[in-house]
Every structure is written in C-alpha cells, then in structure tokens.
A and B are shown apart, each in its own frame.
Chain A
Amino acid sequence: MTELTRLTIAEARGKLSKKEITATELTDAYIAAIDDANGALNAYVAVTPDKARAMAKASDERIAKGEAGALEGIPLGIKDLYATEGVHTQACSHVLDGFKPRYESTVTANLWADGAVMLGKLNMDEFAMGSSNETSFYGPVKNPWRAEGGNKDLVPGGSSGGSAAAVSAHLCAGATASDTGGSIRQPAAFTGTVGIKPTYGRCSRWGMVAFASSLDQAGPIARDVRDAAILLKSMASVDDKDTTSVDRPVPDYETSVGQSVKGMKIGIPAEYRMDGMPEEIEKLWQQGIAWLKDAGAEIVDISLPHTKYALPAYYIVAPAEASSNLARYDGVRYGLRVPGKDIIDMYEKTRAAGFGDEVKRRVMIGTYVLSAGYYDAYYLRAQKVRTLIKRDFETVFDAGVDAILTPATPSAAFGIADQDLHADPVKMYLNDIFTVTVNMAGLPGIAVPAGLDHQGLPLGLQLIGKPFDEETLFRAGHVIEQAAGRFTPEKWW
C-alpha cells in the first residue's frame, strides 16, 4: 500500500484539485498494487490498465481545464455484473463465456460521466448467488484479513467479495457492488469496509446482470462513510431505461456526513437477538447502542414480528425470479454454447456446462416453486409474507422511529472451503439473516465496521432506514465510524 493508494476518495479529490497529485500517478499506483496483490487475493477477474491510463489522462486534461467532475480521476473497481462496453462482463459465470457487451450500464455510465477511472472487473459469486465468493467460476477471493497470528485463508463474504476485498486491500479507491439479500453489507462487514444498499429504485438496474429483479439493487463499497456517500451520489439517478427507477432527485449525500444525530430515534428490534448468537455480536450491538446514545440519539425497543420468516420467503422469491431471469442463457445469443443433437439438447447441455452447482440449485428451486400446482403454496404465500415483513417496518417508522440498528452478520469471516457450511446449503444462507429483511422490504441499509472479534477480525453493524432516507443512514453511520475508528488489514500478500 503506497501513500497514494492509502488516500480515501475525499482525500484524493482534494489533492487532485490542488494539483498535488495527478490522476495518472494515482491510477499507476493502483495498477501496481493490483499487479502485486491480485495473484494472492484474486479480487479482479479482468484488469484494464490501458483503459484506466487513457481515462486518467483524460481526467488530468479536464482538471487542467477546470472541468473536473465529482469523481474526476478516482480509480474504481467494477463488479463483474455491470455491463461495461467492450470489457469482460460475465457475472463470474462460465455460461457468459467471452461476453463483451456493446453497451454500458447506467450506473457505470454515471460514474464515467463524473470522471471516474475504471481499473477492471471484480470477482463475485456466480450471478451474485452466494455469501462467500466461492461460487465464482474464477475461483474464490481471499479476504485481506486473517486471524491474529493465523495464516488460514478466509472468505471475504459474498456476493460482492471481490469488491469488498479490493477496497479493503487498497486495490481501488472504491467499488461498485450489488445487493439482493445482503451481497453488499455482509462482505463489507467481513472486510472492515462500508457498504450501502440504497432503497429499491434509487439506482438504475439497466445493464446489470439480473438475479432477482424485485430485490436487486446497486450500491457502493467504500473505505469510509463519506466515500460511500460520494459514490452513491454519482451511481444513483433517475433512468427511463429502468421502469422501477424512482422519479426523485438525488440528494447530495455527503452533506449528511458529520451532521448530528441528536434527538434521532433509533429502534432496536427484539427479533434480531437470535438463539445461539455469539456473545461478541451482542456486545458489539450494545456498544453501537451506547455510541448512538452518547451522540444524543434516543434508543427505543421495537418489534418486527415477521423477521424470522424473511429468509425462508427470500428463498422462494429470489430463486423464482432467478429461474425466470436466467432462462435467457440458452447458447443462442451470447456466451457459451455446447452443441447437441437438437436444439433442446443444446440448451440442456449448454446450461449444464455453463451453470455452477449453486446456480443450478436455485434455478431448480425456482422452477419447482413456480411449476403447475405449487405456485399458490410457495410463491404466492411468500409474496404475502413479504407484505407482512414490509408492514412490520412501516409500523415502527410510523411510530416515529428514524432508523433501526442491528448486527450486520451473525459471525466474522469464516474459512475458505468450510466443511460444515458446504455440507448444508441452508447454513450458508443463514449468513444473510440480518440483511435479507431489508431487501424484502425494499429499504436502504448500511453496514459500518464497528470493531474486531476475539481473533482480530472485523465485525459490522447495520443501520436500516426509511424508504429514500439514505441521508439518515450516512449521519448515524458516521457516528459509529467516529467512535469505532477505521480498520485496515495487515499486508501479508
């Protein structure tokens, strides 16, 4: 980690505008850091140094002319599910083998329009289905964090594992990610970084490889709360190309960072106190409550009675939508094709070879729950439960609660190829127990690092907000960050 790659986005922005550093120097420093680290961490699946240097050169020219954008010259990593014109875009699946889109996603187009520089595409769980980044066709990402005195490789979480690892190891200044059930917040918590999933409809989904369309939402992973606010401002927009993009102006989120939480009502949901939850998670939660109270917030006990049903309902709704979305991978229009004796045989062989085990499992579950005779019992019931989950949140917000504080994950990062987790798919799914409710209700949620566990591994807290009230999350998240401090891994790679 050089001096240049140590700078946050806000710090780099200051030095670039004062012409103390150039975008080209900053980009070169990141490319060198990636060259040095990626063999060990596997965070990037495609590095684009030529494109990065060309974009940095253009940024330097704009800065010289006084035409700098909000992210001018800031080098970013992009999760592999964002369509980037002419560049590797496979959602880390074999079925999209060789796919290079002829178009750019709205979110990345927004970033480039603001002057950001693309370093490359980041590793992820295949089609964002996973909580450990181990389902990627390109192999697992290693967490830059290791237990104190240990040398065991840990997962960075998932599905945005490459994004979280790259931000944590300073292989980019910030990264795009996406969150369907916790895929931004869980990896952020596992790597000591900040991740925010905004309200459903805040960022355009156009040009993002779809997993579960009613749950998918773009968001950033960053080194601190301020950087997350800066990135979200650029990523979010109103977009005619996404019918679920909400027609509301994007606020300047950065102005919320540093604002007081005095008088803010923070809800503590009883149902998030799970049986068998490690004591240190409970301790971390109590610490977070104390920090917010010290800063002048009012703490209130609340109840979200349908919490325990969010994860099972998610494992009907998300696979159902996935089975429909992934029907497009048929070996005809893009990606992999495995020849067969007729067209059906070609479809079946292509999909058998192109999808990994977890993706097949979810497509199978989704196909089953949508199949004739089972739709009402599974899908319709799950969508009704979803209404109840959302109603729980509406009730507490109507009663005056401004935000809700919970743990982000039930544990710290676990080992790569953990036997116990691989023997039972549901055990892996439980990683998202605290995050998935937020997707089911379409709400914004932020994960902020709040401390280290007994092994010296990062743990995070989650704040959940009202629809389109990301500003409150940045305010309260900043209070936690100020109290907890920042967390950077020791370089071992």
Chain B
Amino acid sequence: MSVDLATVKRVAKLARIAVTDEEAAKMEGELNTILGFVEQLDEVDVSGVEPMTSVMPMEMKKRADVVTDGGKADDITANAPESVDNFFLVPKVVE
C-alpha cells in the first residue's frame, strides 16, 4: 500500500500537524519508503497466531478504590502556557 498527497494531508489533519504543500510532498516520499519497508510483513504466515497484548505474562494490577492523590491543582497548572485560577485557558470552543 502507498499513500498519495491527499492521504498525507488527511493523515496530517488527523494527527493535528499543520503541513504546507511542500512539506506534504516531501512526506509523501518518505512515508512511502517506510511503508514499502514494512510491506515485507505480508510474507509472514500469521494464520492462527494471537496478536501480542502483553510482552511479559502478567495480571493487570488493581489497587484499592480509594482516593490516594489529589489537591494538586497548582502543580497541575504550573506548566500551562496560559491559566487563570487553576483553569487551563484555551481559545473559545463554543459560540
């Protein structure tokens, strides 16, 4: 499979990365090189093989359903580019 320029632009949109026409054209070539490389996986017979979900056999750890952390609003917003009163500020999203 390979990607065309329109697909590159669509994927960039999905990935939320602004690309110029020039960048998209360059990416088209690079992405096709990588997709060409991974195509060799088609040679492998994977019938009846389970996809890997956990590389080490382990049971999902569960913790007690209690509050163990919190009250850190200042810490959480400390690195925000813009915040007021422990809220993150973003451009208007509802009219």
The answer to whether B38 and A343 touch across the interface, beta carbons within 8 angstroms, is no
Enumerate B6-54 residues with CB–CB distance to A below 8 Å: 7-8, 11-12, 14-19, 27, 30-31, 33-35, 37-44, 46, 49-54
The 9 closest A-B pairs by CB, nearest first: A442-B55, A383-B51, A337-B81, A334-B79, A348-B18, A102-B75, A352-B18, A384-B46, A367-B15
User: Main SS of the interface on chain B?
Assistant: loop
14 contacts between A and B (CB under 8 A): A102-B75, A102-B78, A240-B63, A244-B58, A247-B61, A327-B16, A333-B88, A337-B82, A365-B35, A374-B1, A383-B52, A384-B52, A425-B30, A440-B55
- B84 CB-CB contact with A under 8 Å: no
Kindly provide the distance from the CB of B43 to the nearest chain A CB, expressed in whole angstroms. 8
- A474 CB-CB contact with B under 8 Å: no
Known contacts A316-B38, A348-B18; A368/B3 CB under 8 A:
yes
The answer to whether A380 and B51 touch across the interface, beta carbons within 8 angstroms, is yes
Which residues of the partner chain A approach B80 to less than 8 Å between Cβ atoms? 332-334
Which residues of the partner chain B approach A361 to less than 8 Å between Cβ atoms? 27, 30-31, 34
- A396 CB-CB contact with B under 8 Å: no
Interface string of A212-246 (1 = CB under 8 A from B): 00110000000000000000000000001001111
Q: Choose the segment among A124-132, A164-172, A306-314 that binds chain B (4+ C-beta atoms closer than 8 Å).
A: A306-314
Q: State A339–B90 Cα separation when bound (angstroms).
A: 10
Nearest-neighbor residue (CB-CB) of B63 within chain A? A240
- B56 CB-CB contact with A under 8 Å: yes
Interface string of A297-325 (1 = CB under 8 A from B): 00000000010110011011000000100
Which residues of the partner chain A approach B37 to less than 8 Å between Cβ atoms? 312, 315, 426, 429
Known contacts A385-B44, A425-B34, A426-B33; A364/B58 CB under 8 A:
no
Residues of chain A touching chain B, judged by Cβ–Cβ distance below 8 Å, are 98-103, 199-201, 214-215, 240, 243-247, 306, 308-309, 312-313, 315-316, 323, 327, 330-337, 339-349, 351-352, 355, 360-361, 363-365, 367-368, 371, 374, 377-378, 380-388, 390, 424-426, 429, 440-442, 467
Given contacts A309-B40, A384-B44, 6 further A-B contacts (CB under 8 A): A100-B79, A102-B75, A346-B91, A347-B16, A368-B31, A426-B33
Which residues of the partner chain A approach B90 to less than 8 Å between Cβ atoms? 332, 343, 346
Nearest-neighbor residue (CB-CB) of A439 within chain B? B55
Nearest-neighbor residue (CB-CB) of A365 within chain B? B34
Q: State A336–B44 Cα separation when bound (angstroms).
A: 43
